[in-house]
Amino acid sequence: MEIHEMKEGNKLSITLSGRLDTITAPDLENKLNSSLENINELIFDFSALSYLSSAGLRVLLSAQKRMNRQGSLVIHGVNETIMEIFEATGFTDILKIE
Amino acid sequence: MRKTFQKWLLLFVAGAFILTLCLSFYLQTREANSNSIDLIDLKLDDAVKQIKLNTRNVEAIRIMTESEALAKARALAEIILNNPDVLKEKGWPGRMEKILDVDEVHIINKDGIIVASSSATGYDMRSNAQSKEFLAGLGNPDFEYVQEAQPRGMDQEIFQYTGVSRLDETGIVQIGYYPTRLANAMSLADIENLADGFRIGNHGSILITKSGIIVSSIDEKLLGLRMDSFGIQSGTLNKKEPFYATIEGVKYLCKPKIFSPYVLIGILPVDEMYVSRNEMIRSIVFSNTILFGIVFLLVSFLVDRVVISGIFHVNRSLEKITEGNLDERVNVRSNPEFVSLSDGINSTVSALKDAIAEAAARIDKELEFAREIQLSSLPTLFPPFPDRTEFDIFAAIFTAKEVGGDFYDFFMIDEDHLTIVIADVSGKGIPAALFMMTSKTMIQNLAESGRSPAEIFTDANRHLCENNEAEMFVTAFLGILEISTGKFTYVNAGHNKPLFRQSLKAYDWIQTKPGFILAGLDTTQYKQTEIILHPGDQLFFYTDGITEAMNQSGALFGNDHLKDFLNSPEVINYNPADLIHVVKEEIDIFANDAPQADDITMLALQYKGHGIS
């Protein structure tokens, strides 16, 4: 998985490509831990993400919880496979997917 | 490391080089000093010997000259005795001067007056201190006197008088002459000329001083100068020890020698002292540079061959070992030390490997126990309720190697209500197992207190959110079957939708939208859905261990595969136990020995109602 970051003031855009699973989720978690300071607008671009496991959901949940406190989180480019996962796990209720 | 070694070796060799050079310089300087002093001493000894020799020569010549003069004077006295009349002859003294080869002949009478002479007839000997000396002999028939030779006249030439008693009457016969040989010898022996004869080395010489004043020197400019004008005190001279002094701008090594009343000082320019030393040092520098260069290259080469390349190999192996390859062997056998080091490292690594394997085995054992405890909390006795004919239930869990968090559960709340649960805790290992136990117990307790499915999950979620520092979550499906009516009330917290087969139709997923996972957000409110089961209806619950089972090429088993398999003609009518077994077989065929990554859990429920037995 590749993580591409772009920061503009208090807005952080993260583009993920590949698989977000047990192996790669800790990378994203570390990245978020170090980058979310003073961010009030977090945008994920999932258009190149092919797979999302429960470990990935856990990181997303944690990011959502944090952004609930300090701003907003929006996910772009969610493909069908990943949308199914979001629906099956009820994540569509808590995530803002555009 | 090779660089570091060479740096230190170079430092060491350079140090040794400088030390050797310093030592050579010191020894050569000492040698040069001692040689110079010896040289000066030798010359000073020669000079003293020369002085003594000269003195002896002068003495011998003096005795010879004296005896010759006395013989001539006696002969003259004899001539006068035999022929007194000669005294009256005019010209006689001149003749005698020629015959006797003397310069003056004087015949003195009893009154001390010269009565016969070629130049001084009538001269009173008493009128001069020099001539007066001879008058002491008047009246002494045995008087003989050779006067000290002394300089005379304008040119201060040495002249000597000798006299004896007259034999004919009272009086003195005196002859005067230039003692040429004696004068030459004396001149030769004159210490003031001595310095000219001695050189020390090329530019060294001897200074002869008397009462601190230079009386003899090759350099005439120095004559008459006082030694203390060069800063040399008489005390320094009397110590007889070598010292340094600057004379006329040149620095000299000086060594005094006392030859009373003189002090001879040998002087040698310092520059000259060190000429041979400097040459020696130059050749030592040259040869040492070559020698130490060779030593450096040789040692550097040998150490590289013997030690450094060995250490390189050892380090490379150690790096591999550090990276986790405990099968790496160190095998440097270039010398006994490395053999012992290699063997030592190998046995340590091997012991470490054993220890790790042992620890791993122990942990595996403990995980196995944990797994057993975990699994023993699930109902595994089938049929679980042998006297209930209204439904048929079967469940199985096929665990992956690593401890997971899947579980299923079913229990009667009362005579008419059966609760079924299937769940999957996110993550693996002991944390997942513990969270699974907590979740299972909590759900069961809440269910047994008579709450509705939605209430059970809403409350369980709230409790699970407390103290969930590890941010784990659970996907779960819970349903309560009212046996008498077939009413099945269920709630889904992000779990895989179960497949539902209404009797005589195909399996399809229950289409209700799932709620959010358990333990995610403590504010989640769950909604329950009711359906009515008719006799013959069957529900198949499972975890994502099935749909995400992977084959060797990484393909997933998938939802569609599962649904199609269940709907295949030979499977569609299987009862719960058979269904679960064939699904497992189908997954195994698909996986084709690829390792099972996740727990696989299945639960199947068939409602029979009162109509089907």
pLDDT for A5 beyond 70:
yes
How much is the pLDDT for B612?
45
Residues of B in contact with A93 (CB under 8 A): 515-516, 524
A54 touches chain B (CB under 8 A): yes
B521 touches chain A (CB under 8 A): yes
| The dihedral sign for the CA sequence B588, B591, B593, B594 | negative
Asked if residues B219 and B205 have their Cβ atoms less than 8 Å apart, the reply is yes
Residue of B nearest to A92 (CA): B516
Shortest CA gap B325–chain A (Å): 21
Give start and end residues of each alpha helix (H) in B418-535.
Answer: 429-448, 453-465
Query: Closest by alpha carbon to A60, among A48, A71, A75, A47?
Result: A75
Shortest CA gap B354–chain A (Å): 28
Q: What would the DSSP string read from start to end of B326-390?
A: TT------SSHHHHHHHHHHHHHHHHHHHHHHHHHHHHHHHHHHHHHHHHHTS---SSSSTT--S
pLDDT tens digit string along B412-463?
A: 999 999 999 999 998 888 888 889 999 999 999 999 999 999 999 999 999 9
- Across the range B66-94, mean pLDDT stands at 89
d(CA B207, CA B264): 6
pLDDT for B374 beyond 90:
no
Q: Report CB contact under 8 Å: A89, B516.
A: yes
Residues of B in contact with A22 (CB under 8 A): 428
A65 touches chain B (CB under 8 A): yes
- Across the range B276-301, mean pLDDT stands at 89
Q: Report CB contact under 8 Å: A90, B494.
A: yes
Instruction: Measure Cα distances from B611 to B485, B486, B488, B608 in Å.
Output: 12, 12, 17, 6
How much is the pLDDT for B222?
84
Of B471, B516, B524, nearest to A62 by CB-CB distance is B471
Tokens of B569: 């003609």
In this structure, what are the phi and psi dihedrals at residue B174, rounded to the nearest 5 degrees?
-125, 135
* Interface pTM, i.e. ipTM: 0.88
Name residues 427-446 of chain B within 8 A of A (Cβ): 427-428
String of b and e for A61-95 (b: at least 16 CB within 10 Å)? bbbbebbeeebebebeebeeebeebbebbbbbbbb
In this structure, what are the phi and psi dihedrals at residue B542, rounded to the nearest 5 degrees?
-155, 170
Name residues 543-582 of chain B within 8 A of A (Cβ): 544
Asked if residues B544 and B496 have their Cβ atoms less than 8 Å apart, the reply is yes
pLDDT tens digit string along B218-238?
A: 888 888 888 888 888 878 878
Instruction: Measure Cα distances from B609 to B24, B111, B478 in Å.
Output: 117, 197, 20
Instruction: Measure Cα distances from B225 to A91, B231, B239, B259 in Å.
Output: 119, 12, 21, 19
- Across the range B510-538, mean pLDDT stands at 92
How much is the pLDDT for B613?
42
d(CA B498, CA B482): 18
What's the whole-model pTM score? 0.56
Residues of B in contact with A90 (CB under 8 A): 492-494, 514-517
Residues of B in contact with A65 (CB under 8 A): 521
Written as one letter, the residue type at B295 is V
pLDDT for B2 beyond 60:
yes
Q: Report CB contact under 8 Å: B515, A61.
A: no
How much is the pLDDT for B1?
64
How much is the pLDDT for B120?
85
How much is the pLDDT for B363?
86
pLDDT for B483 beyond 90:
yes
Percent of chain B at pLDDT > 90 equals 39
Residue B174, class by beta-carbon neighbours within 10 Å (0-12 exposed, 13-18 middle, 19+ buried)?
Answer: buried
Residues of B in contact with A91 (CB under 8 A): 494, 516-517
Domains of chain A: 2-97 (3.30.750.24)
Residue B546, class by beta-carbon neighbours within 10 Å (0-12 exposed, 13-18 middle, 19+ buried)?
Answer: buried
How much is the pLDDT for B611?
57
Q: Report CB contact under 8 Å: B472, A58.
A: yes
Percent of chain B at pLDDT > 70 equals 99
- Across the range A7-16, mean pLDDT stands at 92
Q: Report CB contact under 8 Å: A90, B514.
A: yes
Q: Which residues pair with B4 in a beta bridge?
A: none
Q: Report CB contact under 8 Å: B471, A57.
A: no
Q: Report CB contact under 8 Å: B516, A62.
A: no
pLDDT tens digit string along B251-271?
A: 898 999 888 888 889 998 988
Of A22, A62, A88, nearest to B494 by CB-CB distance is A88
Cis omega before residue B383 (within 30°)?
yes
pLDDT for B335 beyond 90:
no
Tokens of B383: 């049929």
A34 touches chain B (CB under 8 A): no
d(CA B321, CA B491): 53
Q: Mean pLDDT in chain B? A: 89
* B1 Cβ contact partners less than 8 Å away, ≥ 6 residues apart: B308, B311, B312, B315
Of A65, A87, A90, nearest to B517 by CB-CB distance is A90
